[in-house]
Chains A and B, each alone.
Chain A
Amino acid sequence: MSRASAITGLVLALIGAAIFATKAFVLGVPLAPSDVKDLWQVSLRVTVRGEGRRGSISILMPRTGDGQTILDEATSSGALDHTSRTTDDGRVGVWTGRFEGLHEIRHRFRVKTVDVTIPLPGRTTARPPEDVERAWARGTVMYPTTAPQIVAALDELSLPGNGDVVGRVRTIFAFVQHEVALVRTAADDAVLALEQREGSREGKERLLVTMLRAAGVPARNARGLVLNEKSAPAERVWTQAWIDGAWVPMSTVDGFFGHRPASLILFGTGEQRVIDATDLRAVAYRYESLREHLQPGEVASVMTPDSGLLRLFSLYRLPLATQAALRHLLLLPIGALVIALFRNVIGLQTFGTFMPILISFALRGMPLAAGLVLVGFVLGVGVLARLALERLRLLLVPRLALLLCLVVLSVTTVAVIGQSTEQNELFKGVLFPMIILTMLVERFTIAIAEEGWKPALTKAGYSVLAIMAVYPLFNSIVIEHLMFSFPELTLVIMGCLVWIGGYMGYRLTDITRFRAILSPQPPEQPS
């Protein structure tokens, strides 16, 4: 290694290491993710367009309560007036003012959730208190308890007697769950859902509330979000029934009864919608969420650290979608380092310099074996097709385009098979990097033609090895946390890369390659 590259690498690595050490040991940024379950960061962005008149927009906001703790809540809305009121149904934030052109309202909070289980009583005769009955057991426009269809349906169910409230609720629940199909585009209305025996999520949950009320059980709909790591949070509606002094959560769609999964956060109950606007022209909104890997206290220290400089550069202050993207992006340098080691220190050749990284990246979150089988399947189909296409003598670019189509089709097939066998891991393969696979097919076939099956398969084997080496790094929460909390580690990686680039010594594979030179006596080849 030349002095210059040794020093350059050292300087880069030292700068990175110095920033890292300062942050970790002086400023106290946590080195490893803590073991937290179900702590989420959620943000809502509402974009509103008005035409110069006064208007208002109200947003249902979650409260700390059974099964959820709200932390670090913050809103921003520019020049609008903001008030909030809390009722039994929930907390509503209201923004009023003159809406001219585009306005943006942001609401963000952290939430820690746990599973809530409500123990169900045996026989109960306790009548609900009068105020509960008045508020939650009456018919309304949304819950038409006296509609003839509802009454007739209840008659047919032959409910257990009044003494067995749980039994009555279960019977109605089972009816709505099994007799009314879930069809996304079907009716939101309770009576229509009953008549057509199919309803939307909203329709089924409304029907459940209506029938419960008609049977004398106080009930209401609950609204909130379902959180999951793979996609943006979605609004959810479920049902609460008043049984022996407690609101018991249940959903005929998501299939829970007596407990609320930790993935749900509750915004409010009743007929209030999540977002409501008056005198506004257009409203658009979007929720984003990110699972946290730090304790709430640690999050505070990286969100608003004591050091002003650190605050300026903390990635934790970025919008959630950007954070999610950067968490992935910052892993790539590690993959690149592994590939550099593979090729220049070990000396194993792979198909395409960075192809193994991209494949590992695409396989993130998928079991490695299933991912490799998927790649193998697509590659196999591609290579067979490529060999068949050989006879047609097509020109290069149309031929590659054809292969791309085939790769897309085979991935689609895998997705369909995955869906029908409920192998959701396979389904994720849809996001696979098609272009890379297409080039892989082409390179692989050319390697077969030019060098023969054995060298081509050897090279494919080394590629798989590289994929397997990079994969655990890309799937490690610890490494993800380190690279995201300490992006300066990229400088350390760059330093290592300068060193590898300046390494003029032998590769490991040079040993086998040049062994013939070292063997003392040239043995005669049998002829």
Chain B
Amino acid sequence: MIFRQLHDAGVLGINRRNGSYTLKWNKRRFYPLVDDKLQTKRLCREAGLPVPKLLAVAHHHFQLAHLLDQVADRDDFVLKPVHGAMGNGIVVVVGRDGDALVRASGKRMNASEFRYHAAGIISGLYALGGQPDQAMVEERLIVHPLFRDIATNGVPDVRVVVFRGVPVMAMTRLPTADSGGRANLHQGAIGAGIDLVTGRTTYAVRHNRPCSRNPDSNRDVLGVEIPHFETILEIAVRATDRTNLGYVGADLVLDEQRGPVILELNARPGLAIQIANRAGLMPRLDAIERTWQAGRSVEERVALGRDVARSNPPLA
């Protein structure tokens, strides 16, 4: 039976993820640390971890009038909901055209459209639970040259799942034209699994089907070595250490100038990373739980994660 095959492949289903991992290891009271991007940013800054620079925040509607003034000296920036999820509600501004703002898609947006969008954010339109939210503007990260041809129309990120302080699995999400520039797998971005040991992409899926090339640029997305991969794993582990959460997805972006930067943390990381890696999470999670000890250093834990990944490789 197919359930049996999934089980033998070590695939983690959504019921077990909720019951045995997120509900068990992520205490509800720590959720705000990752659901609120301002808190995550503060947390990471305090730990000396790199985050995108915060330019402006609007907590209330009346502050919207001045939101654009606060970034008058910049040509590019990103507007985001503080409690957003899955990249919803994000506006990436890449330049100016007279009074209008130029979005990443090339479309123009005037100041009043910008304010309306920010008002929607504050009203909670894009917030996780629909509650009133805040709008934040932060610096736009510039895609590392390595990704320029394998990710099109948007900023790719690297997702690392960290369980009890040990990295378990990683993938990179590469936007495409039909994902609308978003690094969102269910919208058509490419998910490419990364070997924790070598830091190279091993396997990739798009729309839940295997793929090897970016359909826009026709460039091979497999076998690509992710720069600074060890640093990425270490930053992900350090960031999750600060959250008191046991099962977290850390999203990082590789900036051209600054290297790996923490974008956000997720207390309910998705399961598609297993498809992108062609590997189940369960054997790795079990192995980590069996050998877990308190007081290991970050380097030791990254090494442990790599060992576990080596002994639980992707399916043939």
Using a CB–CB distance below 8 Å, which chain A residues touch chain B?
Answer: 344, 347, 393, 395-397, 446, 450-451, 455, 501-507, 510-511, 513-519, 522-525, 527
* A516 in complex: contacting residue of B7, B15, B124, B209, CB < 8 Å: B209
Contact, CB under 8 Å: B13 / A527:
no
Interface membership of B310, Cβ < 8 A: no
Chain B CB count within 10 A is highest, among A347, A451, A504, A524, for A504
Chain B residues lying within 8 Å of A523, measured Cβ to Cβ, are 209-210
Known: A396-B120, A514-B271. 15 other contacts (CB 8 A): A450-B88, A451-B186, A504-B15, A505-B3, A505-B13, A506-B3, A506-B7, A507-B13, A507-B14, A510-B13, A513-B271, A516-B209, A522-B210, A525-B206, A527-B215
Interface membership of B247, Cβ < 8 A: no
Contact, CB under 8 Å: B61 / A396:
no
* B6 in complex: contacting residue of A395, A451, A503, A514, CB < 8 Å: A514
Chain B residues lying within 8 Å of A505, measured Cβ to Cβ, are 3, 13, 15-16
In chain B between 157 and 200, which residues have their CB closer than 8 angstroms to a CB of chain A? 186-187
Whether A393 touches B315, Cβ cut-off 8 Å, given contacts A516-B210, A525-B211, is: no
Whether A525 touches B210, Cβ cut-off 8 Å, given contacts A395-B123, A516-B275, is: yes
Interface membership of B2, Cβ < 8 A: yes
Whether A517 touches B11, Cβ cut-off 8 Å, given contacts A505-B3, A525-B210, is: yes
Chain A residues lying within 8 Å of B26, measured Cβ to Cβ, are none
Whether A518 touches B213, Cβ cut-off 8 Å, given contacts A396-B124, A397-B123, A505-B16, is: no
Whether A395 touches B119, Cβ cut-off 8 Å, given contacts A510-B11, A514-B6, A523-B210, is: yes
Task: List 7 interface pairs A-B (beta carbons < 8 Å), by A numbering.
Answer: A344-B15, A396-B125, A501-B19, A505-B3, A517-B11, A524-B212, A525-B211
Contact, CB under 8 Å: B212 / A507:
no
Chain B residues lying within 8 Å of A396, measured Cβ to Cβ, are 120, 123-125
Interface membership of B41, Cβ < 8 A: no
Closest B residue to A446 by beta carbon equals: B125
Chain B residues lying within 8 Å of A393, measured Cβ to Cβ, are 112, 116, 119
In angstroms, Cα B6 to Cα A506, docked, is 8
From residue B23, how far is it (CB to closest CB) to chain A in Å? 10
In angstroms, Cα B122 to Cα A396, docked, is 9
Contact, CB under 8 Å: A506 / B15:
yes
Whether A514 touches B275, Cβ cut-off 8 Å, given contacts A506-B3, A506-B13, is: yes
Interface string of B205-222 (1 = CB under 8 A from A): 110111111010010000
Using a CB–CB distance below 8 Å, which chain B residues touch chain A?
Answer: 2-3, 5-7, 9, 11, 13-16, 19-20, 61, 88, 112, 116, 119-120, 123-125, 186-187, 203, 205-206, 208-213, 215, 218, 271, 274-275, 278-280, 315
Chain A residues lying within 8 Å of B16, measured Cβ to Cβ, are 504-505
Chain A residues lying within 8 Å of B7, measured Cβ to Cβ, are 506
What is the total of A-B residue contacts with beta carbons within 8 Å? 94
From residue A522, how far is it (CB to closest CB) to chain B in Å? 4
Chain A residues lying within 8 Å of B205, measured Cβ to Cβ, are 516
Contact, CB under 8 Å: A503 / B15:
yes
Chain A residues lying within 8 Å of B9, measured Cβ to Cβ, are 514, 517-518
Contact, CB under 8 Å: A517 / B125:
no
Whether A507 touches B2, Cβ cut-off 8 Å, given contacts A396-B124, A525-B210, is: no
Contact, CB under 8 Å: A513 / B120:
no
Contact, CB under 8 Å: B6 / A518:
yes
From residue A270, how far is it (CB to closest CB) to chain B in Å? 64
From residue A421, how far is it (CB to closest CB) to chain B in Å? 39
Whether A514 touches B274, Cβ cut-off 8 Å, given contacts A393-B119, A396-B123, is: yes
From residue A509, how far is it (CB to closest CB) to chain B in Å? 9
Chain A residues lying within 8 Å of B123, measured Cβ to Cβ, are 395-397
Contact, CB under 8 Å: A517 / B206:
no
Contact, CB under 8 Å: B278 / A517:
yes
From residue A113, how far is it (CB to closest CB) to chain B in Å? 52
Chain B CB count within 10 A is highest, among A455, A503, A504, A506, for A506
Chain B residues lying within 8 Å of A519, measured Cβ to Cβ, are 210
Closest 8 CB pairs of A and B: A396-B123, A522-B210, A506-B13, A504-B16, A525-B211, A393-B116, A510-B13, A504-B19
In angstroms, Cα B150 to Cα A287, docked, is 76
In angstroms, Cα B210 to Cα A517, docked, is 9
From residue A346, how far is it (CB to closest CB) to chain B in Å? 11
Contact, CB under 8 Å: B215 / A513:
no
Chain A residues lying within 8 Å of B215, measured Cβ to Cβ, are 525, 527
Closest A residue to B210 by beta carbon equals: A522
In angstroms, Cα B186 to Cα A406, docked, is 33
Contact, CB under 8 Å: B15 / A507:
yes
Contact, CB under 8 Å: A527 / B6:
no
From residue A374, how far is it (CB to closest CB) to chain B in Å? 26
Closest A residue to B3 by beta carbon equals: A506
Closest A residue to B8 by beta carbon equals: A518
In angstroms, Cα B274 to Cα A515, docked, is 11
Chain A residues lying within 8 Å of B212, measured Cβ to Cβ, are 524-525
Whether A514 touches B218, Cβ cut-off 8 Å, given contacts A395-B61, A522-B210, A523-B210, is: no
* B213 in complex: contacting residue of A455, A510, A527, CB < 8 Å: A527
Contact, CB under 8 Å: B5 / A518:
yes
* A527 in complex: contacting residue of B186, B203, B218, B271, CB < 8 Å: B218
Contact, CB under 8 Å: A504 / B61:
no
